[in-house]
Amino acid sequence: MTEPHHDTSRRTVLQATLAGGVGALAGCLTDEATGGDDGASDEFTIGLHSDPTDDDWDAFDYVVPYFTQVVEPLVGVSSDVEPEPLLATDWTAIDDTTWEFDLREGVTFHDGTDLTAADVVASFEATFDHWPWVDGWTGLDPGSTTAVDETTVRFETTDPFPAFPGAISHHYFAIQNHDAADAPVGTGPFEVDTTEDGEVRLVAFEQYRNETPEPSALTFRHLEDDTTRVLSLENGDIDIAHDVPKDQAAAVDEHPETTIQTQVGNHAGLVAVNLYKSPTDDEGLRRALNWAVDQAELVETVLDGIGMPARGPFSSSIPWSIHEELPAYGPDRDRARELVDDSSYDGEELSMLVDSEDGDDSRIAEVLQNWFDEIGVATEIVQVDPASFYDTFVAGEANLTIVGFGSNSAASDYLVRAMFHSRGSDNYQRYEADGTGVYNPGDEVDRLIEDGYRAETGAEKREYYGEVQRRVLETGAIVPLYYDEYVLGTRASVSGIETHPIDKMLEWTELSRTARGDDGA
Amino acid sequence: MYLLYRSLTATVVLLGASVLTFGLVYLTPGDSAETILIQQTGHQPSQEAVESFREEEGLNEPIPVQFVDWLGSALQGDLGQSYYSNRAVTELLVQHLPATIELAVASMAVALLVAIPTGVASAVHHGSSIDAGSQLVALVGVSMPNFWLGYLLIIVFALTLDLFPVAGTGGLSHLVLPAIALGTGMAAIVMRLVRTSMLEVIDREYVDGARAKGLRGRIVVYKHALRNALIPVVTVIGLQFAFVLNGAVVIEVVFQRPGLGTLLVDAIFARDYPVVQGVVLVIAVLFVVTNFLVDLTYHYLDPRISLGGGTR
């Protein structure tokens, strides 16, 4: 009779202990799991698709300068994507190839030392050392940057390059104190507090331009998975989610505690048409493909209405883009069918190359395949892993390649050169091998690009690069698709994000938060 | 002798794995030297630059010579340098391995804690509603993609109940949901196996004998029947370790855990061959070691299986 009693007793004790343990654990976990969201704190957490401690940025001690505002370049980028003073207050072209930049006075690094011209020279040399190809962007060779005095830096470009100030507004040219033991020690409004794999916490730099910026702290967290990033926002684990997937944007906006902001960026999606591979070497067929595509429908269906239907290869936010002046092809599939009939196309299958990791591009490829099928052109979608994608594209293996390009600086000259010049990076391999390329229309366009590169004024540059855009469309070297619009998700209580056409240049110094209950959430 | 034999076979398996791992570079399409330079510099390299890189990295040597050099360095803990980050591969492995081991162990614990009692109950109550219910749960568990279960767990336990964080690493709270997401599939498989195995032994004479001696039902089931039923289960658990490591690749992305899975995927997309080789080799070692330990466990479960070879 005693055994059942003991048995029951043990079970009861065990159950009670388990229940208590689970309760205690849940209590502890709840405390740990709950963030400080929607309280009075002026600390903010931003979830990024990309890793703010990416391994490729060892030149910046693995704190990525994009988004973080720890380091600053000499030249900033205005909201209309023009160069503007940042660490340099002024710059002058001494002659065709010599530039002098005056540094802002009274700027200190996060470790308290003064910014000098020697720091600028050291930073540029470190960049050339780490990313040797940037000399192609800037027209600078290693050793061509010198300190004239404490506050003046001189640059000698290899060729005349009037857009030089804009070219060095890229984060690659952000200035660090390379004498500091632990880089990155920059001059930006936020300094590094802690870093760990995938996460960096910053605090306000109290001596920033002689005043303490707001907010007091920012944490950038790598949340690669799109759904997880959105769920983290909805849960309040993060305050801002960068790059919300377009198909989830409406749900984020409709959620009572979150909202979205969108901004047209300077990134354009397009189909690069191989001018030198049969059957797309036929201009009539290329023009037919253009007549078949309905950019507005593509944006509405595949991109959930977020983005701009494109007319040209460069986003309307790039100053010399002539989007507004470019004619739209159609859509007119009857006209497209006529062009196909008149062309030398005889039913071969066109290969359409897509990056297998890009979901939007894969869906776009399927829609294009249907439209091309309607005009009697057969296509085969070839999905390639991201590591092989660019190699396959520049090797000229496909008839059609869905690509997207944008610029992270105030001078997008390198884009037009990379894409349409015969010696640009996209065409160089085939051009060197057999004098062809991929989607470079030829000598005349090469000359226009070179003239645009050397143009002294914005109007002149627009004229040359505008003509490039017209020629590229007329010859059907591309099929324009969309200008990207990026989506930021935020907690409803968060305000003050200054969007920018270059998303990596978002400003955080106006961020503020309405305390819980004040925002109606 | 048995230990020596198992050690030898484990070494041979590891050697084979190292050959395959090393061969990855040569099995992938394209010129590896050219691809690496594009990754490093962002533009098409000149033929001279490609040649110079091949020379510097020893890629012009005969493949067997390259393999011996690579293996010799690997045995000394030098798995080379990441092409992408310039960090030592060993450093990257040391940085990422703990998160994966933590997740693998936790998910296996979840799987066993769920699978063994449920499988036993299902067998003991064979044909009852308990059995049918657990079979249904096992079917759902094994059919459900783990990333989808991960999202489901986040929505219920992080968003709705606010009990756990959505993602990241830190304390125990960050481990619970990924461990459940990863362990559920394995729990379902192990549970079905425990049930089947238990059904085979539960009517054996020695179990009837134990009952006849008047032992309590629980002791008969757990001490006499389960112990014998566990031998095939343990084998499967060892093999399931590979499943856990595979699943970790997806679960680490969903829950943003910086483990070997994310390191491997990033390295594959960046064609960072030294890192890919390092991670694959570590996974192979973990798999072989786990199965070696499983072999040792047989002896504990059934003393008739002798570590010296044969049975007694």
Question: Hey, of A56, A58, A135, A234, which one would you mutate to test binding to chain B, going by the most B CBs within 10 A of its CB?
Answer: A56
Mean pLDDT within B254-260: 89
The SS3 of residue B307 is: coil
Please tell me the predicted confidence (pLDDT) of residue B169.
82
**Residue A130, pLDDT score:** 81
Any idea where the domains of chain B sit in the sequence?
15-75, 94-301
Q: Among all chains, which residue has been given the structure tokens 């017209």?
A: A470
Q: Give the largest CA-CA distance in chain A.
A: 106
What is the structure's pLDDT at A128? 87
Average pLDDT over residues B272-290: 87
B60 pLDDT above the threshold of 50? yes
> What pTM did the predictor assign?
0.81
- The answer, yes or no, to whether residue B310 has pLDDT greater than 80, is no
Gap between the Cα atoms of B82 and B7, Å rounded: 31
What SS3 state is found at B199? helix
Q: Which of A126-140, A184-198, A350-364 has the lowest mean pLDDT?
A: A126-140
The minimum CA-CA distance between B2 and chain A, rounded to whole Å, is: 42
Average pLDDT over chain A reads 88
Residue A462: what are its φ and ψ, rounded to 5°? -60, -35
pLDDT at A113 over 70: yes
pLDDT at B245: 78
Query: Terminus-to-terminus CA distance in chain A, angstroms?
Result: 60
User: Where is average pLDDT lowest: A173-187, A342-356, A417-431, B285-299?
Assistant: B285-299
Q: Which helix (H) or strand (E) holds A352?
A: strand A349-355
Q: Is the ipTM beyond the 0.85 threshold? A: no
- For the segment A209-234, the average pLDDT, to the nearest whole number, is 92
Question: Does residue A5 have a pLDDT over 70?
Answer: no
Q: Check residues B174 and B227 and name the one with the higher pLDDT.
A: B174
Q: Is the pLDDT of residue A270 over 50?
A: yes
pLDDT confidence of B304, banded at 50, 70, 90? low
Mean pLDDT of A355-365: 90
Q: How far is B269 from chain A (nearest CA, A)?
A: 5
Closest Cβ–Cβ partner in B84, B164, B165 for A55: B84
List, for residues A278-298, the tens digit of each pLDDT value: 999 999 999 999 999 999 999
How far away is chain B from the Cα of A228, in angstroms, using its nearest Cα?
6
CATH code assigned to B94-301: 1.10.3720.10
Mutate to test the interface with A, among B32, B35, B44 (most CBs of A within 10 A): B44
Task: Quote the CA–CA distance of B183 and B258 in Å, as a whole number.
Answer: 18
Q: Does the pLDDT of residue A26 top 70, yes or no?
A: no
- Of A264-268, A284-288, B118-122, B123-127, the range with the highest mean pLDDT is A284-288
Residue A338 vs residues A335, B49, B143: alpha-carbon distances, Å: 5, 48, 51
Q: Is the pLDDT at A35 greater than 50, yes or no?
A: no
Is the model's pLDDT at B277 over the cut of 70? yes
Model confidence at A37: pLDDT above 70: no
- For A197, which of B163, B170, B258 is closest by C-beta distance? B258
Closest-CA residue of chain B to A22: B163
Please state, in angstroms and as integers, the Cα–Cα distance from residue B135 to each residue in A222, A348, B218, following that order: 39, 53, 22
pLDDT of residue B14: 87
Q: Give dist(CA A270, CA A285) in Å, integer.
A: 17
**Rounded percentage of chain A residues whose pLDDT exceeds 70:** 90
Please write the tens of the pLDDT for every residue from A152-167: 999 999 988 899 999 9
pLDDT band of residue A36 (cuts 50, 70, 90) is very low
Helix, strand, coil shares of chain B, percent, nearest 5, are 75, 0, 20
Contact call for A133 and B158, based on CB within 8 A = no
pLDDT at A54: 86
Region B144-169: what's the mean pLDDT?
90
Is-contact A169 A409, C-beta < 8 A? Answer: yes
Q: What mean pLDDT comes out for the span A60-80?
A: 93
The residue ranges of DSSP E strands in chain B, in sequence order, are none
**Does position A243 have pLDDT exceeding 90, yes or no?**
yes
* Confidence bin at B247 (pLDDT 50/70/90): confident
Query: Is the pLDDT at A172 greater than 70, yes or no?
Result: yes
Q: Among residues of chain A, what percentage have pLDDT more than 90?
A: 68
d(CA A384, CA A356): 5
pLDDT tier for residue A22 given thresholds of 50, 70 and 90: very low
Q: Which residue has the tokens 């059942």?
A: A4
Which chain A residue has its CA at the smallest distance from B253's CA? A225
Q: Tell me, what's the pLDDT at A449?
A: 95
Q: What is residue B303's predicted lDDT score, i.e. its pLDDT?
A: 67
Alpha-carbon gap: A105 to the closest alpha carbon of chain B (Å): 35
Pairing of strands A400-405, A258-273: antiparallel
Predicted pLDDT at A9: 46
**Above 70 in pLDDT, residue A98?**
yes
pLDDT average, residue stretch A341-348: 94
Closest of A234, A497, A401 to residue B167, by C-alpha: A234
Q: What is the CA radius of gyration of chain A?
A: 27
Using alpha carbons, select from B25, B205, B194, B26 the residue that is nearest to residue B111.
Answer: B194
Report how far residue A139's alpha carbon sits from residue A126's, in angstroms, rounded to the nearest whole number. 16
Q: By a Cβ cutoff of 8 Å, what residues of chain B touch chain A?
A: 29-30, 34-35, 38-39, 41-44, 82, 84-87, 95-96, 151, 154-155, 158-159, 162-168, 170-173, 176, 253-256, 258, 262, 268-271
pLDDT(B311) > 60 = no
What does A118-171 look like in DSSP terms, one character per residue?
A: HHHHHHHHHHHHH-TTHHHHHTEEEEEEEEEETTEEEEEESS--TTHHHHTTSG
Query: What confidence score (pLDDT) does residue B50 get?
Result: 79
Q: Is B167 left (phi over 0), alpha (psi -120 to 50) or beta?
A: beta
Residue A328 CA to residue A294 CA, distance in Å, equals 10
Measured in angstroms, the CA of B172 and the nearest CA of chain A are apart by: 8
Look at residue B91 in the predicted model and tell me its pLDDT: 92
Residue A218: is its pLDDT beyond 90?
yes
Check pLDDT > 80 for residue A518.
Answer: no
Report the distance separating Cα A415 and Cα A468, nearest Å: 12
Contact list in B for residue A34 (CB cut-off 8 A) is 162
Question: Coil, helix or strand for A354?
Answer: strand
Q: Lowest-pLDDT range, A23-37, A51-65, B56-70, B88-102? A: A23-37
Residue B67 pLDDT > 90: no
- pLDDT category at A138 given cuts 50, 70, 90 is confident
Reported confidence tier of residue A75, pLDDT bands at 50, 70, 90: very high
Q: What is the pLDDT of residue B93?
A: 93
Collapsed DSSP state (helix, strand, coil) of residue A202: strand
Q: What is the mean pLDDT of residues B50-59?
A: 80
Whether chain B has a CB inside 8 Å of the CB on A210: the answer is no
Cβ atoms of B215 and B209 closer than 8 Å: no
Q: Which tens digits make up the pLDDT trace of A478-506?
A: 999 999 999 999 999 999 988 899 989 99
**Can you spell out the DSSP letters for A453-506?**
HH-SSHHHHHHHHHHHHHHHHHTTSEEEEEEEEEEEEEETTEE--B--SSGGG-
Helix (H, G, I), strand (E, B) or coil at B236: helix
